[in-house]
Amino acid sequence: MKQTNVKPADGKLGIMIVGNGAVATTFMTGVFMTRRGLAKPIGSMTQYDKIRVGRGADKQYLHYSDIVPLAKLDDIVFGTWDVYPQNAYQAAMYAEVLKEKDINPVKDELEKVVPMKAAFDRNYAKRLDGDNVKDCKTRWDMVEQIRQDIRDFKQNNGCSRIVVIWAASTEIYVPVDETLHGTLAALEAAMKADDREHIAPSMCYAYAALTEGAPFIMGAPNTTVDIPAMWELAEKTKMPIAGKDFKTGQTLVKSGFAPIIGTRCLGLSGWFSTNILGNRDGLVLDEPANFHTKEVSKLSTLETILKPEVQPDLYTDYYHKVRINYYPPRNDNKEGWDNIDIFGWMGYPMQIKINFLCRDSILAAPLLLDLTLLSDLAARAGRYGIQRFLSFFLKSPMHDYTKGEEAVNNLYQQYTMLKNAIREMGGYEADEEID
C-alpha cells in the first residue's frame, strides 16, 4: 500500500442501522456468516472488485483493501433502531428472505442485536404501527435522544468510529422549503419549534449522526440530507454524507441499459417501468404519499442520461413512467418489468423488454456493506459533505441543485468516479476521464 494521508482503520467500527427489517437483517446475517467462513459476500465491491492503479510497467489490479485502509469485517459491531422490538434473529426469521439454515448458524450473534426505540412519527409512514417508539416532546428532543443512543452505543461496544445508515421505510414526500431547509440555523430553529410538517424523523437521525461525528447514509428516497442545511452541517462537522435510495433492481438496470441506447445513437419513444413487491417496503409504498417520494427518485435516472438538449432528434418528448405495486405473495422477491420503445434507422420502431426477478434484500445487503465501509474510509481520509463517488450505489445521487449541478446517473461514469476516488485516497493518480 502506498503512503497516504488516510487514517488507519484502527479499532471497532459501529454500524448503526435505522430499521431492523429485511434489508438490515439480511446484511447483518451475511456479515456474521462471512466472518465465520460460512458464506461469501457476493455482490460487494469492497470485498471483490479490483481496480487498476498505475500505468504501463507500473500497472496492477488491486482489491480496494490493498489500495486503501478499509475496516475489516471482524471489526464491525451492529446496532439498530426499529419501531418493532424483535431482535435481529426474530426479525430475520419474520422477513423470510433467508432460509432458516442460513440464519441459525449465527443465531447467537443476531439475538444480541436488540433494536433501540425508534424516533418515529406515524404521519410519515401510516402503514407502520410498532410500539418500540421513543416518547419525544419535540423534534429537537428527538435529535437529543438519538445523539444519546449513539454515544451510549459507541461507549458500551468500545467502538472507535460510528457510521449511521438508513435502511428503514420510505417517508412521505417532504418538498424542499428554502426558508426552513436552506440554512442550518433555520433547520435548528424548526426542530426546536417542533415543526413536524417540514422536519421528518430521518432528518433528526441525520442531524444527530453528523453532530456525533458519524457519517450518515440515506438508503431511502427521503429528502433527509438533500437540503442545503444538512450540507452546511456536514461541512461544519467535517463529516461525509451520501444518498439517496439504494440502487438495487430496476434502476440499476436502467442506469446500465440507458447508456447502451445513448451510445448506439438510437432514439427513445418511451420507457415504462413497473414493479411488484410484497415486503414491508412494498406495504409502505402502497400509500400514495410515500410512493411519490420513491417516484421522484426513480424518474430522475433517465433524464440525466438521455438528454434532449444534447440529441434533439433522439430524445425529445419520450414518455417515462414508473409504477410500484404492492403484491403480498411475492414478499421480498420483487419483479420488475421494463418496456422500452426505441426507434432506429429512418425512424423505424423497435422494442426491448426486460424482466428482472430480483431479491430486494439480497441486492441491497452488499450495498450497505460498501456504503458503510466507504463512508468510514471517506471520513478517515478527511472527505466531508456530499460524497459523489458513492453515486454508483444510489438511485438518485446527491448533488448541489442550488448551483445547477446535475446528478451523474450513467452507471459507467459513476463507476469511473468510484475508482478515481479510491485511487486518490490510496495515493495514486486519479487517471480516468469521465466523458
Q: What does the domain layout of the chain look like in residue ranges?
A: 12-246+361-425, 250-357
Q: Which of 281-295, 300-314, 418-432 has the lowest mean pLDDT?
A: 281-295
Distance between CA atoms of 232 and 239, rounded to whole angstroms?
A: 10
pLDDT digits (tens, 9 = 90+) for 129-142: 899 999 999 999 99
pLDDT value, residue 332? 86
As given in the structure block, the three cell numbers for residue 412 are 459507467
Buried b (16+ CB within 10 A) or exposed e, 227-262: bbbbbbbbeebebbbbbbbbbbbbbbbbbebbbebb
Angle between helices 360-380 and 22-35 (to 10 degrees): 70
pLDDT value, residue 194? 98
* Beta partners for residue 267, in sequence order: 343
pLDDT digits (tens, 9 = 90+) for 240-272: 999 999 999 889 999 999 999 999 999 999 999
pLDDT at 9 over 90: yes
Kindly tell me the number of DSSP H helices and DSSP E strands found in the chain: 16, 13
Of residues 303 and 235, the one with the higher pLDDT is 235
As given in the structure block, the three cell numbers for residue 392 are 454508483
Taking the complete model, does pTM exceed 0.85, yes or no? yes
Q: If one looks up domain 250-357 in CATH, what number appears? A: 3.30.360.10
Amino acid of residue 210:
L
Helix or strand holding residue 382 (H, E):
none
SS3 124: helix
Fold type of domain 12-246+361-425: Rossmann fold (3.40.50)
pLDDT digits (tens, 9 = 90+) for 65-88: 999 999 999 999 999 999 999 999
pLDDT digits (tens, 9 = 90+) for 193-232: 999 999 999 999 999 999 999 999 999 999 999 999 999 9
Distance between CA atoms of 175 and 10, rounded to whole angstroms?
A: 40
Average pLDDT over residues 33-54: 98
Among 76, 72, 69, which residue's Cα sits nearest to residue 7? Answer: 69
Which of the four pLDDT bands, split at 50, 70 and 90, describes residue 1?
low
CB-based contact 25:368 (threshold 8 Å): no
SS3 279: coil
Average pLDDT over residues 402-424: 96
Which of the four pLDDT bands, split at 50, 70 and 90, describes residue 187?
very high
